[in-house]
Amino acid sequence: MDFLKVADDIVQKLWSYNQDESGWTLAKNSKDVVVSWKPSSEYGGNMYRGEGIIEDTPENIIPFMYLPEHRMHWDKALKSYTLLERIDEDTAICHTVTHSYGMGLISSRDFVDLVRVKRYEGGIVTTNCKYCCRVIILKSITIFFSSTVT
């Protein structure tokens, strides 16, 4: 699988959602964050868009979002978070495991995501993510199956 091409494709798709102002419904507007949603044309559900300004540089913020030594300190939903492969400076494959919730009614979930950080003129930075694999654990062997990329 050409992960750089997949990452480029998802960056373009997500940027097009950002540029599309039609059909978004305001879900929440606080002092620092605006969250909007609209029905997805790709799956039976809604897409959500969060926008906000963080008073710092991307070089200081991005490591806290994606490096395991930082992410585990602030994201309490995570049971584990592992950087599996760094493809280039702005692209990586990460494995995330969430905690179970509701006294086990909602089980722990595994995700393997392709993550791309994209910088635009004017200081805009987007973080783009695509679920890319199913994880099956058999004894102590982990096997990754690539999903179909659309």
Say whether pLDDT at 43 is over 70.
yes
The confidence score (pLDDT) of residue 139 equals: 38
Give the pLDDT confidence of 75-117 residue by residue, as tens digits: 999 999 999 999 998 999 999 999 998 888 889 988 888 999 8
Give the pLDDT confidence of 44-83 residue by residue, as tens digits: 999 988 888 888 888 888 888 888 889 899 999 999 999 9
Q: How much is the pTM?
A: 0.74
Residue 133 in contact with residue 145, Cβ under 8 Å?
A: yes
Banded model confidence at residue 133, pLDDT cuts 50, 70, 90: low
Residue 63 in contact with residue 56, Cβ under 8 Å?
A: no
Mean pLDDT of 16-27: 90
Average pLDDT of the chain to the nearest whole number: 82
- In three-state secondary structure terms, 124 is coil
